[in-house]
C-alpha cells in the first residue's frame, strides 16, 4: 500500500511539473506573439504617420506656392491700380486739348 501511495504521489507530482512547464512555455510563446503583434502595429502606425507627415508637407508647399502667386498677382494689381488714376488724368488733359483744337478750327 505504501508503494501505491508513493507511486501516485510521484505520478501526480510529475504531471503537475509537466503542466507547470507547459504553462510557462505557452505563456512565453503567447507573450512573444503579443510582442510581435504590437511591433507590427507600431510599425504600421509609424508608416501611416510618415505618410501623413509627407502629405502635410506637400500641402504646405502648395499653400506657400499659392500664397506667393496671390501676392504676385496683388502686387501687379496694385501697380495697375496706382497707374489708372494717372492715365485718367492724362486722358482728361488729352480730351481738353482735342476739344481746344476742335474749337480753333
pLDDT at 1: 64
pLDDT at 37: 96
pLDDT at 52: 97
pLDDT at 81: 77
Per-10-residue mean pLDDT of the chain, 105 residues long, equals: 85 93 95 96 96 97 97 88 84 89 81
pTM of the model: 0.52
Give the rounded distance of the alpha carbon of 13 from its chain centre. 59
Amino acid at each position: 500500500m505504501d508503494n501505491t501511495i508513493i507511486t501516485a504521489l510521484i505520478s501526480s507530482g510529475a504531471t503537475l511539473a509537466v503542466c507547470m512547464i507547459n504553462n510557462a512555455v505557452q505563456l512565453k510563446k503567447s507573450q512573444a506573439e503579443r510582442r510581435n503583434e504590437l511591433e507590427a502595429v507600431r510599425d504600421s502606425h509609424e508608416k501611416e504617420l510618415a505618410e501623413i507627415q509627407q502629405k502635410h508637407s506637400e500641402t504646405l508647399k502648395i499653400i506657400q506656392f499659392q500664397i506667393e502667386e496671390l501676392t504676385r498677382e496683388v502686387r501687379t494689381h496694385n501697380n495697375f491700380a496706382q497707374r489708372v488714376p494717372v492715365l485718367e488724368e492724362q486722358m482728361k488733359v488729352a480730351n481738353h486739348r482735342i476739344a481746344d483744337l476742335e474749337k480753333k478750327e
